[in-house]
Amino acid sequence: MSSRISLTRYLVEKQRVDGHIPAQLRLLLEVVARACKMISHAVNKGALGGVLGSAHSENVQGEVQKKLDIIANEVLIEANEWGGHLAAMASEEMEAIHVVPNRYPKGEYLLLFDPLDGSSNIDVNVSIGTIFSVLKMPEGDRGVQESDFLQPGSHQVAAGYCVYGPQTTLVLTVGDGVDLFTLDREQGSFLLTQERLRIPEDTQEFAINMSNMRHWDTPVRRYIDECLAGKDGPRGKNFNMRWVASMVADVHRIMTRGGIFMYPWDKREPNKPGKLRLMYEANPMSWLVEQAGGAATNGRQRILDVQPTQLHERVSVILGSRNEVERVTRYHAEHAAGTAG
């Protein structure tokens, strides 16, 4: 008999003992975890389940969808819409919000998710994952509107991600630190395997797509050039580079052993603030990183303070070990001051 604490018991104790989460939020998180187990099962079956390859359709972002993108999106919607704890959902894969149908009771929470992050890695059997964020429905007895979702990340009441890799791992925060759960396939339960994750303040590892170097802004190039110069350069130490091209996998590595992840603004699409989505990717990941002692900015301000203006808004992302993130952010400020001068 395992002595490890199950996710269900963990959430019940958070509700009963610590008073951190209301009953509706506890039930919502249990349902999200159950949906992640179903997605994990589909991912693991791979070609045997006929789920690999392109669906030959595009999502709202104009990106070609994989079959598993669509499956994961449907799993999350179907699992969550009938429970009575949600008012509406929003997904990276859908243009509009999904309001809970009238035949089901309406709850007080809003769920946002990237159903399958890193889906370009699906067919090559590299780690991918699900990212989710929970907001409280604004007060007032009225219908749900898209504007209800447009809250800064600092208003999140829960956030997490699930990595589908060698193990299926769920990383969760409800604003009281970050805890990690591993799926025990024999029991069919997520079990608590690591408490109070902490990101080291310093690191010698960075994650960025180096093929875009020629498109970066000056502060990002300055930072990376210094890292590449190693112990003979101004930093006086050697750095390693890692890039999985799956935000979940890259951030999970940083949550586990430190590092800095950057997906910055670049000159190819100068009118867009960045590539990653604020509501589905940057906000939940930034809150998790901050809760683990790290930092997250867009180069100019804390990501959790950014006021969204649209559901699929994009943002530049720099997150991870605090001292490195603060250095890159300082380089942006110095560059802006020099340009203004």
Distances (CA, A) of 96 to 61, 88, 130: 12, 11, 19
| pLDDT at residue 55 in the model | 60
| pLDDT at residue 19 in the model | 75
| pLDDT at residue 200 in the model | 97
Low-confidence ranges of the chain (pLDDT < 50): 1
Contact assessment for residue 306 and residue 315, using Cβ atoms and an 8 Å cutoff: yes
Contact assessment for residue 256 and residue 263, using Cβ atoms and an 8 Å cutoff: no
Domains of the chain by start residue, with CATH: 7-194 (3.30.540.10), 205-340 (3.40.190.80)
Give pTM, 2 decimals. Answer: 0.95
Q: Quote the CA–CA distance of 334 and 53 in Å, as a whole number.
A: 45
Tell me the H-state helices in the chain: 7-13, 23-45, 67-80, 218-229, 247-257, 283-291, 322-340
| pLDDT at residue 1 in the model | 44
pLDDT digits (tens, 9 = 90+) for 104-133: 988 999 999 999 998 888 888 899 999 999
Residues 6+ apart with CB under 8 A from 292: 177, 178, 197, 198, 199, 255
| pLDDT at residue 65 in the model | 76
| pLDDT at residue 51 in the model | 72
